[in-house]
Every structure is written in structure tokens, then in C-alpha cells.
Structure 1
């Protein structure tokens, strides 16, 4: 018996993420595949798993290893090859099978990882199976993987055209006014899916869209910039191209294309909360037209404009913790029609309660193309407040830093909420503002988000909170 490895730095709360050849090897991947079979797949009564991958060079080897682990335990494998993460969720949904997506999302080239789901794209997180996968995988690395009496089979299946047609069935863009759209795929999976969904690459009819591609060539070394649109530096090329081409909109996808960011016709970045409000109102209107009361989930970092506008439109707005496993669970529990996060993850009931950057982009294109105003004017009403964006600070003592922030604002009659980190709110009275401070799960960081009704008030509260966090 060999020593039992500690996989906590690799198999995290929501997914698997590590450096290839170091924390993530083919042996580890095989053990994770076998552990997924025994901790989730077989107990759920399933016998077949669908696997996909992004464009990273390490992907084929890791897919083979995960598949070997599953097959060792008697589980059959459907390999759908290259796909976006929402492409994997689509396959899990329509085939009604658990899934494994081999991807490191927006991480640099040295990384890879996995996102796991149950049948119908249901999330597998720390408390819904991933903790068990971690434990069993460690046992299998120490003691070996026990072989099932009959080894599972493997087949290949191309799902790209089905995925494209499925999304087209959810949002009709055919009657739009013509739009010029710049898309920055960052050499990642958007370069594979955009031609299929928004173009004619999957054999679907042409849409009234002129797509101007940036970095559509699949290259897991990311030769132009990282596939992380949350970093403003990675949007510079898109912003310049939108202005250069006089485009109506710019779209940027992350590495596995499950998130989408938008840039307006001026080259200005659109806040994710504005997209949450826009799409949430579209989906709510559809529910109301059908005689149903819509529910929309938003995480607690979203702009206060989101619940205000949804409630005014007749929807029920429900606040959630940050993180896809919480959002998906709330959506399923409440049968919510839509959910949005400040990180540009957007979730749809009609897409198996899963997130899809492409579907969010299609909703924005539909809203833009159905009227004559530019995107900046269309979205202006959805961003009425001043927001700081997420600001990270390195701290030695997280609890002490949070206590300093609470002391800093104690005299301002704040409301305190500890749903996720600590939220201090003065939104009930003038001047209206709120802040949220949350500790990172993996680093000695505090994350600050702040919003206020007026820019000068946001700056005051932001600066005071940062000074307290950093003990300046």
C-alpha cells in the first residue's frame, strides 16, 4: 500500500484544476474517472458518461485517461471530442447522461482540469459528489483501481450540429436587423462554436449577422492573449476592433466558452449585471405571456438594479450565493427561468438550468437586433448605479480585516448580511451604497465589491473599505 495523496489542491469545491504533468497527470485523471464512476455515476443508476474537451494540447491524453478510469469500473463512454463546456452540458441534457468536460476554462496554457455533471447537466460540487470523488480518487491512486467484471465500451459522437440547432431553437435571430459583430475567441472554443451557431458552419441557414473574427484558430498556448475576459487587458483588441470596424457589438468568450462578455459600439465594456437585467427581463416577459410568474436568480454581487427592475416587471428576484453550484441548485429548486452572475455566467431553465455564454450572447443580439438603438442606449437604463468591480487584497488575517471593515462603517446604521462573506448595506436610506467582502477559498485574499447610487459615494465607501482591509 502506498501513501494516500492529498488531492485538495487539485479537486476543488466546484471543479478539477491543476498543472498538467505536475498535479494533474494521466494517472490522476484515470483515478478521477474511476472515482466519478463509483462516487456519482453508478450510485445514480447510470451506466454511460459523455466526455468532451477544449483545445488544449493535453486534452486528448486526459480524455483517454478519464475514459479508461470510467471503463475500468464498467461504465461506457461517449466521446464527443472538441466542444465548449455548454456543448458538454447540452450533450448531457439531450442524451440524459452524466458528463465530464476536460478544460481549465480561462486558466493559462500550463493548466487543465475537469468539470463534472450528473445527467441533465446537474452540477457536481463539493457537497454533491465532488468531495466523494476526491476521497475515492486518492484511495485508487494509493491502492489501484479495482477492475469491473466487464470493461466499459467507448464510442465517438459528433454533437456540434445538434448543439447549434438546439440553441437556434431557443432564440430566433432570423428576423433581426443586420448586425456587424466582432467576436474575440482568444484562440479558444468560441472559435469552434461561433461559426456553427451564428454562422453556417453546422449547415444551418445564414443569419443577418456579419461576424468579424478575432483569434478563431484553436491554440491552447493562447498566442495572442489569455482567454480570460475578466481581465481588462484581454479585451483591448476587441475594443479596438469594434471601433475600427464600426461594429454594433463585440463579444468575448473565455477558454471553454461558457462565459460571454460584451462590448458596446463605443468599445465600452458592458457590465455583466446589465446583461443579467436585459436577459432576465426578456425571459420574464416570455413567462408572463404564458401566464406564469417568473423567478430569476441573481448572485449577491449583482447590481441592485437587477432585482429592482425584475421586481418592477412582475418577476420574483431571488438572491443567491456566488458560485455555479449554488445558482444551479436554486434554479432547479425554484424552477427559475434565468440566473445571472457578476462573473458573466448566465443560466437558463430551457438549457437544463446550466450556463451558456453562447445563449446569453444570442439573447443580447436578439434584443439589439429587434430595435434601432445602439447597444449603449439599449443598456443605459440597466446600469444606473456606480460599481467598483471586484478588487482583491492580500491579507494575512482575513477575520481581522473583515472586523476592521465592519468597525469602519458601524456608525452609518448599516444592515449586515452574512449569506456569502459579509455584506454591509446602506441601501435603505440616503446615501445609498453597499459593499460585500468575501474571502477566497484558495488564497489569502479578500474580494471587495462596492456599489452606490452616486459615483462619488461609491468612491468614498470603496476607499474607506480598502483602507480598512489593508490596514492603511
Structure 2
């Protein structure tokens, strides 16, 4: 299957992301944006330097000045390019395995929309070409330091003084960035599990072996939390002091509350807890993917609007006032939903586990069936959606169906209050499963049982 746009960016096998294909997509993007300058960044995948080099060379030949920001997190690249009012391309496959990679396109205003994706695809098919006045220049720029300064300035140098935080480094492109920010806020740092080989960490579906390691690291080092990100650092991972991973949509709720948000935009897969908190005047549910969240933020009633996804990626739509001002950054970011819960816990003198326990009891779990047969997965999901008898039979072990929601995939709410949500990934051969229940154990049980039934149908 050739590379295509999914929930966020163009993705495909490295073998399919040939120099020619990458150059053609760069031309397609440039021909729709017609910029004078292009910012470029990349993650730590083995294939990323080659792809980034093709992007830089193609843009230069097309007459566009290129700012090469090197290896850095996607939100750091977006912050610099948006500040400069220039478009950007990030080379990353996010959390998917190293045999795959991709391109994330940014307009001067931020992430591209689904309409922008369609325009890029149209230009790609027609082999659109962009030519400036003269061959472009190439320069390097430190885009990491402004991103670090953003958070130290907003939260204050002593915001996390006295806390001891582990950094699960693996192959996150932001591993040094995280350490610099947390140290700058006064926290003590314990580096953990650095890897020079790319590890595809999915912060939304952390595997059991890694969860065991997280618990061991917290216990052995007396940590208050462990922080990490996915490969390109637009999704956070944060544990409490016991090493238990806090779900991304819970991080989103805690962050939105600390910032004083009034309107919250989040996909239908997120924890229903967000709709139960009186602090939020408006909650808008969308399809999964940051372009849909951004579109929802534009429609929000209140200027104090934020967005977040179930994976924890957080989008800030207004200038928040903390110890200092925090300017808007309407792109999926990992650091804000790591820092805000830590600061909130310290402000009230509680541990992260205690902070989470104070929230309404609503628990989620997520998993994914990998290397699926896409054709079988489509037939399976279509059958559940269109045939009531098939749907009732499949979900019978989980309870009586109360309602269904087709906003993105198939969400089923049961009479018991439990929820199962099924959807195929938009950019990887995976089938996502989300569960929600009134207890952590029940959510975990739901996920394990649903995984077995889905795997049987889609593998």
C-alpha cells in the first residue's frame, strides 16, 4: 500500500518513501503554500536523515530558503515555524515501527486541515511544481531553546523544586529537551533506558513489559513520576509515583483545569470524565485526529479553548496566565500535559496518584491489534455497523447495547455504563480498541477480552 494521509500526516513504509515520492510531495506542498521559507525537522529514525535531506534539497532547487532545525520534537519545530510565519515539514513516523516513516506538514498558522491534505494530494497527483525566483539558501537554526524557554518562563524556575522525576529516554527525539525543561523548573532528574536504536513507543498503548519496568524504576529510585514521549514528542507519557501510567485524556483534563479552560475539544474516544467536570462550560467531541480537534476549537464558544486527544497530545488555543504568560500553541504538544499535572500536584501538596483519585471515577484502557489484514478489518467493522444482528452477537459478552456512535469507527455504550470503541488506524496496519468502565480493573478486563475477539476477526 502506497503512503497516504492518516489521522496526522503522511505515512508509509520506508521502502515506499523513495526520494522521488518525497520530492513530489514536497513540490505538491510548496505549490499549495507558495512560501519563501521552509522549516524542516526530523526524529531519530534511521531513515529520517535521508528523507530530510531530500526535502531540503528539493525545496532549495525550487527556490525556497530552507531552515534546517535538525533533530527535535514536532511541537518545537511547529513553535519556531509558526513564530516565523513560515510553513514546515517534520520527518517522523511518530510511534509506529522504524520500517515506516512519514511527513507532517505545517502551514504558517499551524497544522494542516483535511482540506489542506486534499489540496496537497491533488497537487501530488497532477505533479504540481513550484519554482521561486532563484535557488534557495540553507541555514541551520536552534529551534529547541525557544521551546525550552517557553515552559520555564511560563511555570517559573522553582515550579517543580523538590520533585524527583525519571526520564524514560528510549529513542524520543525530545529526551534531552525534557531533561532541560524539568531541570530548569527545579526538579531532580533520573535518566532511564537511553537507546541508540529506535524504539516505537506508543504512549496510548504501553506494553505490559514496559509497564513493569516503569513500576520497578519508581520503586528503586523513589521517584515522584516518570515522564516520556512518543518518537516525535507530540504525545506525552506520565506515570504517578507508583509507576502507573496516567492515561492521556486524564492528563488532558488535569491540564485544561490548571489552565482555566472554558471550552474543551476532544475526540469521541476520550474519557467521558471531561463532560462531568463543572469547570468546563463547553465540551465538543470530534473524530480522532488533531485536524478534527483544531476544527472543533475554531467553533468553540469561549476564547479560553483547549483541545486534547486520548493519546494526551494537547493543543493550547489561548494565552494562559501561569507564573508567566503561555502563548497559544494550537498543535499537538507533549510537554504541557506533562508539566501541568506535576505543577498542579505540587501546588496542592498531593501526589499524582492522589490528584487523579480526586477526579470523577471514570477509567479507560486502550490497546491495538497490529499487522492486521486491512480488508478483513474493513469487512468486520462494516458488518458491525450495518448489521444489528451481527453487532448484538459480537458485543453480547460485554452486555446489552444502549447506544452506538459512528463519529469515528464504532463506539458502543452499554446499559451498565461500560463503553467499547473500535476503529482501524488511519495510517498503520493496526486496529485500535478503547474501553471505559467505572473501575480500573473492569476497563482492563474489557480491553483484554475485546482484544481477543477483535484479533480473531482482523488477523
User: Residues 252 and 262 of structure 1 are in contact (CA less than 8 Å); yes or no, is this contact kept in structure 2?
Assistant: yes
User: Residues 283 and 338 of structure 1 are in contact (CA less than 8 Å); yes or no, is this contact kept in structure 2?
Assistant: no
The equivalent of 1:231 in structure 2 is: 206
User: Residues 34 and 66 of structure 1 are in contact (CA less than 8 Å); yes or no, is this contact kept in structure 2?
Assistant: no
Higher strand share: 2
Regions of 4+ moved over 6 Å = 459-468
Deviation at 1:274, TM superposition (A): 1.8
User: Residues 167 and 179 of structure 2 are in contact (CA less than 8 Å); yes or no, is this contact kept in structure 1?
Assistant: no
The equivalent of 1:352 in structure 2 is: 329
User: Residues 10 and 18 of structure 1 are in contact (CA less than 8 Å); yes or no, is this contact kept in structure 2?
Assistant: yes
Separation in 2, partners of 1:112, 1:297: 28
Q: Match for 1:137 among 113, 121, 124?
A: 124
User: Residues 33 and 68 of structure 1 are in contact (CA less than 8 Å); yes or no, is this contact kept in structure 2?
Assistant: no
5+ residue gaps, structure 1, are: 1-6, 200-205, 288-293
> What per-residue deviation string (whole Å, max 9, x for no partner) do you get for residues 398-443 of structure 1?
21244356334699472232222232324xxx63223322234467
Matched, 1:186 2:170: yes
Specify whether residues 265 and 442 from structure 1 end up closer, same or farther in structure 2 by C-alpha distance, changes over 3 A only: closer
Separation in 2, partners of 1:109, 1:468: 28
The equivalent of 1:418 in structure 2 is: 406
The equivalent of 2:189 in structure 1 is: 211
The equivalent of 2:253 in structure 1 is: 277
Provide the secondary structure at the position in 2 that maps to 1:414: strand
> Which residues in structure 2 correspond to 1:35-46 (within 5 Å)?
35-39=28-32, 41-42=33-34, 46=35
Deviation at 1:358, TM superposition (A): 1.3
5+ residue gaps, structure 2, are: 318-326
Separation in 2, partners of 1:328, 1:31: 27
Deviation at 1:345, TM superposition (A): 1.5
Specify whether residues 459 and 365 from structure 1 end up closer, same or farther in structure 2 by C-alpha distance, changes over 3 A only: closer
Specify whether residues 173 and 432 from structure 1 end up closer, same or farther in structure 2 by C-alpha distance, changes over 3 A only: farther
The equivalent of 2:224 in structure 1 is: 248
The equivalent of 2:324 in structure 1 is: none
User: Residues 367 and 447 of structure 2 are in contact (CA less than 8 Å); yes or no, is this contact kept in structure 1?
Assistant: no
The equivalent of 2:112 in structure 1 is: 124
Specify whether residues 216 and 358 from structure 1 end up closer, same or farther in structure 2 by C-alpha distance, changes over 3 A only: farther
Deviation at 1:314, TM superposition (A): 4.3
TM-score, scaled to structure 1: 0.82
Paired residues in the alignment total: 433
Separation in 2, partners of 1:55, 1:227: 13
The equivalent of 2:342 in structure 1 is: 365
Specify whether residues 451 and 31 from structure 1 end up closer, same or farther in structure 2 by C-alpha distance, changes over 3 A only: same
User: Residues 271 and 363 of structure 2 are in contact (CA less than 8 Å); yes or no, is this contact kept in structure 1?
Assistant: no
Q: Match for 1:400 among 371, 375, 383?
A: 383
Provide the secondary structure at the position in 2 that maps to 1:373: coil
Specify whether residues 463 and 49 from structure 1 end up closer, same or farther in structure 2 by C-alpha distance, changes over 3 A only: closer
> Which residues in structure 2 correspond to 1:162-201 (within 5 Å)?
162-172=146-156, 174-199=158-183
Matched, 1:387 2:372: no
Separation in 1, partners of 2:70, 2:115: 26
Deviates more, 1:110-119 or 1:404-413: 404-413
The equivalent of 1:438 in structure 2 is: 423
Deviation at 1:364, TM superposition (A): 1.8
Separation in 1, partners of 2:68, 2:234: 19
The equivalent of 1:302 in structure 2 is: 270
Provide the secondary structure at the position in 2 that maps to 1:353: strand
TM-score, scaled to structure 2: 0.84
Deviation at 1:105, TM superposition (A): 1.6
Matched, 1:331 2:294: no
Separation in 1, partners of 2:94, 2:401: 41
